[in-house]
Every structure is written in structure tokens, then in C-alpha cells.
Structure 1
Amino acid sequence: MDASSITFSFFLIFTGAAILATLALYSRQPLLIAYIALGAIIGPYGLNFVNDLALLSDISHVGIIFLLFLLGLDMQPQALVSTMKKATPIAIISSLAFMGIGYVVSIAFGFSQAESIIIGAAMMFSSTIIGIKLLPTTILHHRHMGEMMISLLLLQDVIAIFVLLVLLSGDVGQFDITMMLKTIAALPVFIALSMLFVKYGLLKLIQKFDRFHEYIFLLALGWCLGLAEAAHQVGLSAEIGAFIAGISLATSPISQYIAVNLKPLRDFFLILFFFSLGARFDLALLADIIIPAVVLAALMLTLKPVIFQFLLRNASEKKVLAWDIGFRLGSISEFSLLIAFVAFDAALLGKNASHLIQATAIITFLISSYIVIFNYPTPIALNDKLRRD
């Protein structure tokens, strides 16, 4: 792809995204659905206006790196401890239940044992983007709900990172337990060295030059991408490196300033990520996976709220709050898509299985958003009585 075609591709992507996003806002749809739809329309399996998906996929991958970096920046250990005891058993039990459902459905539709395990693993998580974007923050009731939701989502993210660690620990097409153990052993060393570098190097630079906002911005970018690349070199993933980079800075007073200033850059790359998701979806395979995708999505959308409600009620949460959280966490996650891509690239997952995860994700993103918008308080509710900032 030459310079002019990159410019033309970006023109099509961001102009098209702006047009579809406008329509989505008028019709109260989630914006990420607009980006996925745009990819399907102008990608290689649609009108074929944008066809170099390898480059776009590499660029969009940076969006996931920034997403995990910002997640790490917001992961304050002190704030997490208060809800950890209550949220941890809920996160573990629910994740195992969702994995079991995904595994059974996949086996029933003829996928292999290994594929069914990975499909089941992809079902364990709920969408952080949809969950947080549709959550009111101005009412005390919703602040408590937000704390519980964020705790559950963070714990799911930790589980997801472990799943990615497992998937990335072997050679193409196989799982290497020795390599995984070496990778796990390298993880605490990597974290310790990162914390020491932040304490004795990065924070001193930030304190000395904190008046120069451009420098702080560049330092944050360098730290995020540098640690992502370092993690990749020692056998971890770039995503895990970015997450550790964020956590290592989370206790710094400058962490929220960095988070606020990096969000527009993260959103830029995430638009490309969701576009590439739609563009990579081979519509010709839809007939082969549509029935299992619909069944799996229906089960997730139905059983996730029920399971979360049951577990939250047993953890002494009020019934109304428990149902509210359950429906808000009814979709599967962006991490599910990442697991599908990583497993497919490692030849651990066939094309149909990868597309099954993607199709299930898209269906649950869309329907879960509708359920929340029409029934629960949210900033973009259609009903004035439900609209809350």
C-alpha cells in the first residue's frame, strides 16, 4: 500500500465512520456498531474499497495496546481492595459458567475439543466499552453499581490476560507448557523491573519536567510502547506489557493527566480496530456459522444476566441492582475478539471457529446495547425518564 492509498483508505474510513456515527447517534445506536458495519461495507468482503487489512490490522493493534495501558492507569490497588473480596468469587464462578456454556455449544455444533475450549474461554468476558459507556455516574446508586461493575470487569481483564498469556506461550499450532511456565516465571521479574524503573527513573523525570506537557505526553507514549515491545521480546505479549506499563504508573499523581490526554489517541486506533473487525469478517462464511452464533449469543444474552443476578444476590446486593448489573454485562468482550484473532494467528483456531466468536460478539454488542438503552438508566436512553448522565 503506497502513501496515496494510505491517505485514501484513511479518508474512506474516517469520513465513512463520521457519517455512520452520525446516523448511529441519531438512532441511539452504539458507535462501535457503526465502525464494524463500515468495515463490512467497504472492506475486501464488501465493496473492496479498502483491502490491505494486514497493515490496518497492525495499526489498529496499537489501539488495544493503548486500551490496556489506560486500563492499567485506572487500576488503583487501593480502590480495588474494597470490592475485591466480594467481586472475586463472582468473577471466577461466572467466568467458569460462561466458559462451560460456550464449550458445550461448540462441541454440539461439531467444533474440535481445542477449538471449543478457546470458544468457551472467549465467552467468559463482558464488554468494558459497552458496560462503561452506558453507565450513569451522577447518582449514588449508580456509583456503587459502577464500582462493582468496574471491579468485575477488571477481574475479567486479569483472567483474559492470563488466557492470552496461555495462547501466546506456544509455537504456531500447538501449546507448549514449558514455554508457558517460562513466560509465567518471567512475568514477576518483568513487573518488578518495571516498577523499579518507574520509581527511580520515570517519576523523577516527570517531577522535574512536569511543566512541559508535550514532554509528559511523549514520555507516556514511549513508556507504553517501549514496555509493550520489551514484553514481546521476552516472550510475553505487547498487550501485557502495555497493561503493566499502566499499572506501574497508576499510583503517580500524573496518571490521570496521562489517561485523559491519551484517550483521543486511543479512540483513533480503536476506530481502526473495530473497522478491521468488520472488514476481516468473511460474509461468505456467515451461512456456516450463523446458527451456532445465534444460539451462542442467545444463551449469553439470556444466561449472563441470570447468573450475574444470582451471584450478586448471594453477595448481598439488592435484587434491582443485581439485575441491572447483569444486563449491562450481558454481551461478550473486546477481549473475546482479541482471543479469536490471537488463536487464529497461532493456528489454534480454525477460520469458522474464529468467525463464530466474532459473529457472537457483534450480535451481543448490538442486542445488549438495545436492552440497556430501552430498559435501564443510561446517557443515551430513548426515554427521558431513563436518560441519566
Structure 2
Amino acid sequence: MPQDIVFSFFLVFAGAMVLATFALFTRQPLLIAYIALGAIVGPFGMGWIEHPDELADMADIGIIFLLFLLGLDMQPSALFAVLRKAMLVALASSLVFFAAGFALTQAFGFSTMDSVIIGLAMMFSSTIIGLKLLPTTVLHHKHIGELMIGLLLIQDMLAILVLILLGVLEGGSSMPVWQPFIALPLLAVACYLLVKGVLLPLIVRFDRYHEYLFILAIGWCLAVAEGAKLVGLTHEIGAFIAGVTLATSPIAQFIAISLKPLRDFFLVMFFFALGARFNLQLLADVALPAMLLALLVLVLKPVSFRLLLGRFSERRELAWDVGLRLGQISEFSLLIGFVAVQSALLSEQGSLLIQATAILTFVISSYIVVFSLPNPIAVSDKLRRD
């Protein structure tokens, strides 16, 4: 039976209203309320929403808008500087996280291929959790925001490489491994030229029509996101490039303010879909390894980033701050697990382990940040920063 989209939206947002109110009264992070709602009404809970994947596809738009808004506040010169500094840290930390995930799953008797893919999934941190819980003023105007964006972008490129390699192992990918790394600078240059030659003249000519500027911004974001996907990158990287190339526009801040409600609308759906797709009935099969793997991630990632960033002249406080904010696995980890299962490279148990670890690290790292670091949804007035 087709899923009623209006009823689904009613459950998502009316339910989010109720649980978010309860979360605020009990001083809990709002993200936890959205994930819990998905688990309650999803196919493995009450079953009121039978096909959460349909909502998840729409929820991905929220991630695209999030990256677009980040790009709008990132000047190209600052981006290049921070990418150079973050490169070694991102590569070294990824190797550490891969080795730890591989070793732990081998100890629990998973197959070598399962352990390799689970190790790969442990390499990445969540763009959404990391940046959603970073204050806007810090994200846009301070070094920690630039550094986190640099680390996450490099991780995104590594994730693309992993996805290509999985396609090669399956025999279903015709894309050369080097293609995304050639496509990235070419796409950036093409977008820069289009902004200078087409978008900026249109903005100057029609800057009085706010509705037109709003539509132009969304169209540009989604057009570049789709173009990036066609050349072997991801929608998210394309959206970020669209934002960076438009950052010098005089209306960049107007666009950023206009799109924030739209971004938050889709991000609520993302966390809801994350909870709804988690099979609680099979959790007992991987409960112990999932808890230990989550604990490993929650401890190892902050410590590794603290040591690696400290080695490259970052202040101790900043290094700890970055490490705690990136102390979880990523939405890319879930995608890697899904692709590997579809390619028959990962067992169902291995996929469930990745999902359980993602949920646990998302939840616990959110608590750590919300209760100990400045963030927009802190329950303490002292830590709340918009």
C-alpha cells in the first residue's frame, strides 16, 4: 500500500513537537528526540511509517543545504589554507580509526571482509552532528570552524574513494579511481566562472526581488550538487562548492538567513529516518560488539585528534574541542554499509553493527557536546551559542 505522505509528515512533525517539548523540559538534546521518534513510529516500532527510506531520500536535501550554507560563509583563500593544514591530520587519523575497527571486529570473529568494511566505516565523522552542534559565530568566523570543515571535506573525499573501490570489488563500477580528484578542481573552476559571468550580473540586476534571489540560490545549489554527482563526486561536495563560489556575492548573508529554516526542516527528517530504519529486533545479535566499538570510537577519536592536532601547533583546548565534536562515526559510514550489503561484500550482521555503532555514537557524542561545549541547542544558558 502506498505511504500517505501527508500522514507521514504529520507523524514526523507533530511527534517531533511533542518529544522536543519533553526533551526541553527534561534538558535533553533535541537530536535525541528526533531519533527516538523515528524508532517509536517506524517499521520496527509501532509500524505507523512502513517505508522510512522514502523520507530518508528527501531528508538528504537537508545535508545538501547544510553544506551549501557552510560554503556561503567560507572564503576560498581561507578554505585552501585550512585544507593544507588538515590533510595530514585527516589521513593519519583515518588510518588509526580503520586499524582499531578492523582489530576489534576480528577479535569478535567477523570475517576479514566484514572487518575491512567496518574498519573503513569507522574512519569518518558525522558532518551533520559536528557542524549542527557548532555555534554559527564560531563556525563562520573562528579557526575551529574552518579546521572542522577542512577535516570533514577531506574525509568526504576519502569516503567517495571507498565507495568507488566497493564498486570496483563488486564489478559494477566503471568509474576510474582518479576521476573524482580530477573532477573536483574542474567543477570548482567551472562554478567560479559561472558565478562571475552569469549569477553575479543577475543578482545585481534583480537584487530588489527577494523571491527571485531565494529561488536562484536554491536552483544554483541543487544544480551544482547534481552536476557533482554526475562527475563522480557527491551532492554534498557539489553543494559546498556552490556555496563557496557564491560567498563573495553581496547577498551571501541574505541567502544564508533565508535557507536556514528550510535546512532545519529537512534535518529533522534526517534524524527521524535514522531512528526509523534501525532494526531494534536484531539489536541483541550485535549488542556487545556495538557497545565496545562505540566506546572505542568515543574515546579514540577525541584522543587521536587531540594528539595529531597538537602536533601541528594547534592549541590544546582547540584540539580537544575538535576531537569531542568529531567523536562519532558518519552518515557516510551508513552509506558504505548499505552499498557493501547490496554488493554482497558485507554480512547482514556487519551492516547492523555499523548501524548500531552509528546510533550509539550519534546519541552519546551529542550528549557530550550539548552538556560540555558551546552549541546552539545547549540546555544550559551558559553554553548556548547561536
Instruction: Please point out which of 138, 156, 170 is paired with 1:160.
Output: 156
Instruction: Please point out which of 272, 293, 298 is paired with 1:296.
Output: 293
**Secondary structure of 2:170 counterpart:** coil
1:272: which partner in 2?
269
2:355: which partner in 1?
358
Cα distance change on mapping 1:76 and 1:115 into 2, 3 Å:
farther
Query: Across the two proteins, how many residue pairs are aligned to each other?
Result: 385
Distance in 2 (CA, whole Å) between partners of 1:247 and 1:144 is: 12
Cα distance change on mapping 1:239 and 1:86 into 2, 3 Å:
closer
Aligned ranges for residues 318-357 of structure 1 at < 5 Å? 318-345=315-342, 348-357=345-354
Cα distance change on mapping 1:249 and 1:387 into 2, 3 Å:
closer
Cα distance change on mapping 1:114 and 1:65 into 2, 3 Å:
farther
Instruction: Please point out which of 245, 248, 252 is paired with 2:249.
Output: 252
CA contact (8 A) 1:220 1:258 kept: yes
1:33: which partner in 2?
32
RMSD, aligned CA: 3.1
Asked if 1:87 is matched to 2:86, the reply is yes
Aligned ranges for residues 1-389 of structure 1 at < 5 Å? 5-135=4-134, 147-148=143-144, 150-168=146-164, 170=167, 173-174=170-171, 176=173, 179-345=176-342, 348-378=345-375
Structure 1 residue identity aligned to 2:26: S
Cα distance change on mapping 1:349 and 1:327 into 2, 3 Å:
same
Deviation, structure 1 residue 382: 5.7
Distance in 1 (CA, whole Å) between partners of 2:355 and 2:265 is: 21
Distance in 2 (CA, whole Å) between partners of 1:171 and 1:242 is: 26
Deviation, structure 1 residue 111: 3.6
Structure 2 residue identity aligned to 1:179: P
Structure 2, unmatched stretches of 5+, are none
The share of aligned pairs that are identical, in percent, is 58
Instruction: Write out per-residue CA displacement over residues 107-131 of structure 1, whole angstroms, 9 at most, x where no aligned residue.
Output: 3334444443332233223334444
**Secondary structure of 2:193 counterpart:** helix
**Secondary structure of 1:180 counterpart:** coil
Structure 1 residue identity aligned to 2:177: M
Distance in 1 (CA, whole Å) between partners of 2:21 and 2:328 is: 23
Deviation, structure 1 residue 294: 0.7
365-374 vs 177-186, which moves further:
177-186
**Secondary structure of 1:47 counterpart:** coil
Distance in 2 (CA, whole Å) between partners of 1:308 and 1:46 is: 37
CA contact (8 A) 2:328 2:362 kept: yes
Deviation, structure 1 residue 42: 0.3
Distance in 2 (CA, whole Å) between partners of 1:166 and 1:265 is: 31
Distance in 1 (CA, whole Å) between partners of 2:34 and 2:256 is: 23
Deviation, structure 1 residue 364: 1.5
CA contact (8 A) 1:28 1:380 kept: no
Distance in 1 (CA, whole Å) between partners of 2:71 and 2:139 is: 20
TM-score (norm 2): 0.86
60-69 vs 113-122, which moves further:
113-122
Deviation, structure 1 residue 296: 0.9
Instruction: Write out per-residue CA displacement over residues 240-272 of structure 1, whole angstroms, 9 at most, x where no aligned residue.
Output: 332332233233232232222112111111111
